Structure 1
Amino acid sequence: MKIKLSALAEKLGLDHTGDDMEISGVNTLEKAGPEDLSFLVNPKYAQLLDTTRAGCVLTSGPYADRVGRALVSSNVYMDLAKVVNIFAKPQGCLQGVSELAYVHPEARVDDTATVYPFAFIGARAVVGARSVVFPGCYVGEDSAIGADCLLYPNAVVMGSVTIGDKVILQPGAVLGGDGFGFAQTPFGHMKIPQIGTVIVEESVEIGSNTAIDRAALDTTRIGRGTKIDNLVQIGHNVQVGEHCLIIGQVGIGGSTKVGNNVVLAGQVGVADNAEIGDGAMIAAQSGLAGKIEPGSRLAGTPVMPAGTFLKAAGSCMPRLPELFRRVKALEKELNAVKAAANGGNDDE
C-alpha cells in the first residue's frame, strides 16, 4: 500500500512540512527507508533525527524543523496508532462460513460474518455482523458475539457468555470457564457448580491465554473499553470497570470490584472481595486487599504509597546487609558492656 503524504496528513487532520511524497510503510528511526514514515515519541531519541533515512517523521512541533519532511502532531503516540492502523494488514484470508466449521442448526450467524474451518458454533449461539471466528474457536450454546468482533485461533467462549461489539479475543483466551469454587467436606473438596455468566462490553481486548471465569450465580463483567494483557486471571463475580488497563500475569480474586480507568501493572495480585477505586494505579508485583481509594498510586506488598515504597526500595533495601552487620556489631559491643558491668558474669 502507498499513500501520498498530503493525503495522509488530511486523513489524520495534521499539518505536514516539506514537499509531498508517497509513503509505503512505517518503521523506526533506525530502520526506516526513504519511502517510510517514522516517528519520534520519546525526546531521548531525538539524536536519531540526524541520522534517520526516513522519508518523513511524525513528531511534535519542536522537532519538525530537524527533518526534511514532518507530520506535526500534538499527540504523537495517538497519531502513530492511527497511521499503523492504516498500513496494518488484517489477519485472515477467508470470507463466509466454511463447510469445515460446525455451526449448529439453531445457531444464528450473520451473513457478513466469517467462520473458519474447525470452529464450533453451538446451539442458539449468535455471531454478529462482520465478526470473524478463526480456526479452533469454540462458541458455546446460548452465547452471543456482537458485531465486528475478532476471535483469534483457539479462543473459547463457553455457554451463555455475552460479548459486545468490537471485542478482540487473542489466541487462547478463555471466557466463561468455571470459577474456582469448592466446599471443604470430610470427604474432600466438593465442587460448587458455577451457573452464572460473563458479560464483556464493547471495545474490550483480551490477551492470549487470559482466563475470565464465569460467576458462581450472577455475572462476571468487563467494562467498555478495557484492555487486558496476556496471562491474566480474573476470578468469578469480578466487576471490572470501563477503560481499565490490566497488564500481564495479574490475578484478581473473586468478587473484587475494580473501578473505571484503573491500571494494574504486571503481576499485581488482588485478594478476594477487594475494592479498587476509580483511577487507581498499582505498580508491578504489588499485592493488595481491602479497599483502595480512588486515585491512589500504590506499590509493594502489602501496598503502600508509591513514593514511600520507592524510598524504601531505593534507600533501605540495598543497605540491609550493611545494617545487619552493624546490628551484629552493636549486639557484640552491648554484650561486652553488660559482661563488664556484671563483673565478667554475663549469665544474667
Structure 2
Amino acid sequence: MSMKLSALARELGLDYTGADIDIAGVNTLDKACPDELSFLVNPKYLSQMEKTKAGCVLTSGPYADKVPNALVSDNVYMDLAKVVDLFAKPQGCLSGVSELAYIHPDAQLDETVTVYPFAFVGAEAVIGAGTTIFAGAYIGEGTTIGTQCIVYPNAVVMGGLSIGNNVIVHPGAVLGGDGYGYAQTPVGHRKIPQIGTVQIADNVEIGSNTTIDRAALDTTSIKQGTKIDNLVQVGHNVEIGEHCLVIGQTGIGGSTVIGNGVVLAGQVGVPDNIKIGDGAIIGAKSGVSGDVAPGVTLLGAPAMPAKQYMRAAGVCLPKLPDLFKRVKKLEKELAAVKAEAASGEDDE
C-alpha cells in the first residue's frame, strides 16, 4: 500500500509541508527509508529527526521546519495511531467458516463471521457480523459475541458470557474460568461452584494470557473502552470501569470495584473487596492495602501518596547504608561504655 502525502494529510485532517511524495509505510526515525513516514513525539529525539532518512516526519508545528517534508499535528501520538492503523496489515488470511472448525448446529453465526480451522463454537452461541474466531479458540455454549470482534488463537471464552462490539481477545486469554472460591472443612477445601458470568462491554481489549474469572453468583464486569495488558489476573465479581488501563502482571482480588479512568501500572497488587475511585493512578509494583480515593496517585508497597513515597524513596533510602554504619558504630560505643561501667562496679 502506498499513499500520496497529500492524501494522507486529507485522511487525517492535517496540514503538510514540502513535496507531495509517496508514503508506503511507517518506521522509527533511525530506521525509516525515503518512502516511509516517521514521527517525533518526544523532543529528546530531535537530533535523530535532523538526521533521519524518512521521507516525511509527523510532528508538531515547532519542529516541522527541521525536515524537508512534515505532517503537522497538534496531537502527534494520537495521529500516529491513525497513521499506523492505515498501513497495518491485519492478521489472518481466511474468510468464511472453515470445514475444519466445529460449529454446533444450534449456534447462530452471522454470514460475515470468519472461523478458522480447529476452533470450537458451542450450542446456542451467538456471534455477530464481521467477527473473526482464529484457530484453536473455544467459544462456550450460550456465549454472545458482538460485531467486529477478534478472538485470537487459543483464546478461551467459556459458556454463558457476554462480549460487546469491537472487542479484541488476544492469544491464550481465558474469559470465564472459575473464580477462586473454596470453603474450608475438616477434611480439606470444598470447591464453591462459580455459577455467575462475565460481561465485556464495547471496545475492550484483553491481552495475551490474561484471565478474567467468572463471578461466583453475579457478574464480573469490564466496562467500555478499558484496555487490559498481558498476564493480568482479574478475580471473580470484580468490576472495572470505563476507559481504564490495566498493565501487565497486575492482580485484582475478588469483588473489588474499580472506577472509570483508573490506571494500574505493571505488577500492581490489589486485594479483594476494596474500592478504587475514578481517575486514580497506582504506580508499578505497588501494593494496595485499602480503599483508594478518586484522583490520587499512589506508589510503593504498601502504597502511599506519590509525594510521600518519593520523599521516602528519594531522600531516606539512599541514606540507609550510612545510617547502618552509624548505628553499628554507636552500638560498639555503647557496648564499650557498658563494659567500662561494669568494670568500675567490679572495682568497687
2:188 matched to 1:188?
yes
Gaps of 5+ in 1: none
Q: What is the match of residue 137 of structure 2?
A: 137
- Local SS of the residue matching 2:344: coil
Q: 1:82 to 1:345 in 2, by over 3 A?
A: farther
2:300 is matched with 300
Give 4+ residue runs of structure 1 displaced > 6 Å after superposition: none
Q: Secondary structure at the match of 1:193?
A: coil
**Alpha-carbon distance change, 219 to 318 in structure 1, aligned in 2, over 3 angstroms:** same
What do residues 228-286 of structure 1 show as CA deviations (whole Å, max 9, x unaligned)?
00000000000000000000000000000000000000000001111100000000000
The answer for the alignment partner of 1:317 in structure 2 is 317
Tell whether 2:74 aligns with 1:68.
no
**Equivalence for 1:221:** 221
> What corresponds to 1:79 in structure 2?
79
Matches within 5 A, 1:199-348: 199-341=199-341, 344-345=344-345
Tell me which moved more, 223-232 or 327-336. 327-336
- 1:89 pairs with 2:89: yes
Please report how far the alpha carbon of residue 331 of structure 1 lies from its aligned counterpart in structure 2 after TM superposition. 2.0
Aligned residues: 346
TM-score of the pair, normalised by structure 1: 0.97
CA 1:344/1:329 → structure 2, altered by over 3 Å: closer, same or farther?
A: farther
The one-letter amino acid of 1:41's match is V
Secondary structure class of the residue paired with 1:45: helix
Q: What is the CA–CA distance in structure 2 between the aligned matches of 1:140 and 1:179, rounded to whole Å?
A: 17
TM-score for both structures, normalised by structure 2 = 0.97
1:12-35 C-alpha deviation (Å, 9 max, x unpaired): 000000121110010011000110
Give me the whole-angstrom Cα distance separating, in 2, the residues matched to 1:132 and 1:167.
11
Question: 1:19 and 1:190, CA in 2 relative to 1: closer, same or farther beyond 3 A?
Answer: same
Q: CA deviation at 1:342?
A: 5.3
Q: Distance in 2 between matches of 1:344 and 1:167?
A: 82
Identity %: 68
Counterparts in 2 of 1:324 and 1:345: CA distance versus 1, 3 Å: farther
Tell me how far apart the structure 2 counterparts of residues 91 and 158 of structure 1 sit (CA, whole Å): 23
Question: Are the counterparts in 2 of residues 122 and 142 from structure 1 also a CA contact under 8 Å?
Answer: yes
Equivalent residue number for residue 153 of structure 1? 153
Tell me which moved more, 19-28 or 313-322: 313-322
Q: 1:52, 1:41 → 2: CA distance? A: 14
Looking at structure 2, the residues matched to 233 and 56 of structure 1 have their Cα atoms a distance apart, in angstroms, of 42
Q: CA deviation digits over 1:271-304, x for unaligned, max 9?
A: 1111100000000000012210000100011111
The aligned counterpart of 1:198 is 198
Structure 2 unmatched runs, 5+: none
Q: What is the CA-CA distance between 1:322 and the residue it aligns to?
A: 1.9
CA displacement at 1:308 relative to structure 2: 1.6
Report how far residue 340 of structure 1 moved: 4.1
SS at match of 1:298: strand
Counterpart of 1:98 in structure 2 is 98
Shift, 1:335, TM fit: 3.2
Counterpart CA distance in 2 for 1:91 and 1:72 is 30
Equivalent residue of 1:344, what SS?
helix
